[in-house]
Amino acid sequence: MKLINKHISICLWSDDYEKLAGWYEEVLGFKVGRRLTFPDDTGVDFDFAPTYFYVGKHDKVSGKNKDPYRIMIGFNVESISEAYEELKVKDVTWIAKPFEGPPGGFWCMTIQDPEGNILQFFGGK
């Protein structure tokens, strides 16, 4: 298989996509690109061009993520310290507060969204 570019899409499925998408919008400050309301495709597309980040309804998904450590979704930020200061006063479940990532030279922090999906942030200190 030959990929045509290095961009990916991430779709988080939920039985309560509006609540989950609202958390990404309100707590993390993600900007909504558009809301889709097609019969078989309902959800929120966040503005991360060229990457596609989507939170949508799926009839085969219910409740919290039962295996949250299987996949971590990573986001690059300019400064982990600034991102931490912004998030530490919000409704966030912390897995790892800021730490220097191995083998050094960048910093990370890790949180969970309300459905148990793990998000890791990377960037400068």
More confident residue, 12 or 2: 12
Q: What is the pLDDT of residue 84?
A: 98
**Tens digit of each residue's pLDDT (9 = 90 or more) over 68-91:** 999 999 999 999 999 999 999 998
Ranges in the chain annotated CATH 3.10.180.10: 8-59, 68-125
Q: How confident is the model at residue 101 (pLDDT cuts 50, 70, 90)?
A: very high
User: Strands 107-112 and 93-100: what pairing?
Assistant: antiparallel
- Tell which CATH architecture fits domain 68-125: Roll (3.10)
**Burial of 108 from C-beta contacts in 10 A (0-12 / 13-18 / 19+):** middle
Please tell me the pTM assigned to this model: 0.91
Q: How far is CA 123 from CA 28, 75, 107, in A?
A: 16, 9, 5
- pLDDT over threshold 80, residue 22: yes
**Tens digit of each residue's pLDDT (9 = 90 or more) over 27-40:** 999 999 999 998 88
Q: How far is CA 58 from CA 34, 39, 55, 61, 101, in A?
A: 18, 11, 10, 6, 34
Q: Does domain 8-59 match CATH 1.10.3720.10?
A: no
Q: What is the pLDDT of residue 2?
A: 77
